[in-house]
């Protein structure tokens, strides 16, 4: 069947879901940032010699074979320690914007002597914490960092100088920094100080995924947007979250922890409790409330006055909001492009567009999100219920033609099916 035009690609003309299209859309997403001119160590596969022939060759050319083996082993270990950097960096998910998440591991003589991660904007960077942890053992050690060290003075001193002063011997970076203030300048500074710098090719993709929102903001000047919705078995948008999804370790609770903001409609804000992450130590997202064609007053009953600073109302006309203290911005143009630029300017790297109801203000924002490259990811929860539908589909937006989602993943959680993929 031909997909229904103006729909996400997983709908047939009769409104039913084409899960086959979703589960087959597994093209790899294109890289957001080009690699810098680093010289990576050759991977183990670069050597065509078998272990047997290598043992014979060592008698003739011990230096060459020994070098190949050491390079292969170094590549394996680089990947191991870089994965640990990513693991450390994720500890600060939801806390670092507008900064990226970064982890650092200091290794000397095959032993980890220091670890650290960037906890929040304004705090020291990952390299500083790791070097403090290592102390004097950082000298002649190798520092692994998931993102190129900075070389400029901001709210904190440059990490390149910290590494140089600690007298590290090597630095392995997971990826170059797309921030034009950095953009390979950190690598150049380290090399000029006599420090060997190399790229961990095997884990570059995982380092990019870690900071996909930060990268997107740097390259486009807009917040990274993820569209989330819940569907019934017959494809109707429903204002419901699956069992356990909003509890600790539930997917929805984790999304709210990881994203800097969540876009909701004024109708939802007037009649529902506001979404809250229940993850330990979570920083709650900024509530971005879309108020279109509202009366002169908007009451948000479930937002307490002491938490008014945690919300912002975007309106197409002047409006009074209760409780007092909520920031109100009247936009000349109420469209997703302008909103994402505004959020990026306010320091948000990522935003969750929480689509809970058919029609309404949020639906109009999403009319051409694929054509205009405004939404980067889609998360759909399918619940085992059959809902009354007013039409063939409630997701009649997205663009002028059907399109496949990329890198689609699916899982079953408490009887619901969770699908997510990149636009």
What are the catalytic residues? Answer: 127
Cα–Cα distance measured from residue 406 to residue 423, given in angstroms and rounded to the nearest whole number: 6
Helix axes 126-134, 62-89, angle to 10 degrees: 110
Closest CA to 141 of 126, 152, 130, 150: 130
**Distance, CA of 331 to CA of 347 (rounded, Å):** 18
**C-beta of residue 41 within 8 angstroms of C-beta of residue 181:** no
C-beta of residue 92 within 8 angstroms of C-beta of residue 101: yes
Q: How many other CB atoms sit within 10 Å of the CB of residue 135?
A: 12
Of 419, 344, 336, whose CA–CA distance to 383 is shortest?
Answer: 419
Q: Enumerate residues 6+ apart whose C-beta is below 8 A from 356.
A: 229, 230, 237, 239, 264, 265, 268, 272
Query: Do 418 and 379 meet the contact criterion of CB atoms below 8 Å apart?
Result: yes
3 state SS of 351? strand
Asked whether the CA dihedral 98, 100, 105, 106 is positive or negative, the reply is negative
Cα–Cα distance for residue pair 103/119, rounded to 1 Å: 10
Answer for the pair 278, 253: CB distance below 8 angstroms, yes or no. Answer: yes
**Token output for 73:** 């082993």
CA Rg value for the chain: 25
CA-to-CA distance for 284 and 352, rounded, in angstroms? Answer: 12
- Token pair 């394996």 is found at 76
Distances (CA, A) of 321 to 216, 261, 307, 329, 368: 32, 19, 13, 11, 30
Task: Map residue 289 onto helix, strand or coil.
Answer: strand
Locate 274 and state its tokens.
């506001």
Question: Which uninterrupted H or E stretch holds 173?
Answer: strand 170-173
Q: Provide CB contacts within 8 A for 336, sequence distance 6+.
A: 225, 365, 366, 369, 372, 374, 375
Q: Where are the beta strands (DSSP E) in 232-285?
A: 261-265
């Amino acid at each position: 069947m031909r997909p229904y035009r103006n729909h996400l690609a997983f709908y047939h003309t009769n409104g039913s879901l084409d899960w086959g299209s979703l589960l087959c859309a597994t093209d790899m997403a294109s890289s957001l940032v080009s690699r810098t001119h680093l010289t990576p160590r050759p991977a183990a596969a670069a050597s065509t010699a078998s272990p047997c022939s290598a043992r014979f060759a060592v008698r003739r050319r011990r230096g060459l074979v020994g070098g190949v083996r050491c390079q292969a082993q170094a590549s394996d270990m680089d990947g191991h320690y870089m994965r640990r950097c990513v693991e450390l960096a994720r500890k600060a998910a939801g806390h670092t914007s507008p900064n990226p998440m970064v982890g650092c591991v200091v290794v000397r003589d095959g032993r980890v002597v220091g670890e650290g991660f960037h906890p929040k904007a304004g705090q020291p960077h990952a390299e500083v914490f790791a070097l403090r942890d290592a102390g004097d053992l950082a000298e002649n050690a190798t520092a692994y960092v998931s993102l190129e060290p900075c070389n400029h003075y901001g709210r904190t001193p440059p990490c390149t100088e910290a590494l140089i002063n600690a007298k590290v011997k090597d630095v392995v970076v997971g990826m170059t920094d797309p921030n034009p203030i950095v953009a390979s300048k950190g690598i150049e500074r380290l090399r000029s100080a006599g420090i060997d710098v190399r790229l961990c090719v095997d884990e570059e993709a995982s380092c990019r995924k870690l900071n996909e929102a930060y990268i997107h903001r740097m390259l486009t000047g807009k917040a990274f947007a993820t569209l989330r919705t819940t569907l019934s078995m017959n494809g109707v948008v429903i204002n419901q979250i699956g069992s356990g999804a909003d509890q600790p370790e539930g997917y929805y609770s984790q999304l709210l922890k990881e994203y800097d903001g969540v876009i909701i409609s004024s109708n939802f804000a007037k009649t529902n409790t506001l979404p809250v992450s229940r993850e330990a130590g979570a920083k709650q997202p900024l509530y971005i409330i879309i108020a279109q064609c509202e009366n002169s007053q908007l009451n948000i009953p479930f937002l307490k006055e002491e938490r008014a600073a945690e919300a912002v109302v975007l309106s197409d006309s002047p409006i009074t909001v209760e409780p007092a203290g909520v920031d109100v911005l009247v936009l000349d143009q109420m469209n997703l492009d302008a909103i994402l630029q505004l959020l990026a300017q306010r320091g948000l790297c990522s935003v969750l567009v929480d689509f809970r109801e058919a029609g309404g203000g949020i639906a109009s924002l999403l009319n051409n999100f694929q054509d205009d490259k405004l939404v980067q990811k889609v998360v759909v929860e399918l619940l085992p219920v059959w809902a009354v539908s007013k039409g063939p589909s409630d997701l009649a937006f997205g663009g002028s033609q059907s399109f496949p989602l990329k890198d689609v993943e699916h899982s079953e959680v408490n009887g619901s099916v969770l699908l997510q993929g990149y636009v």
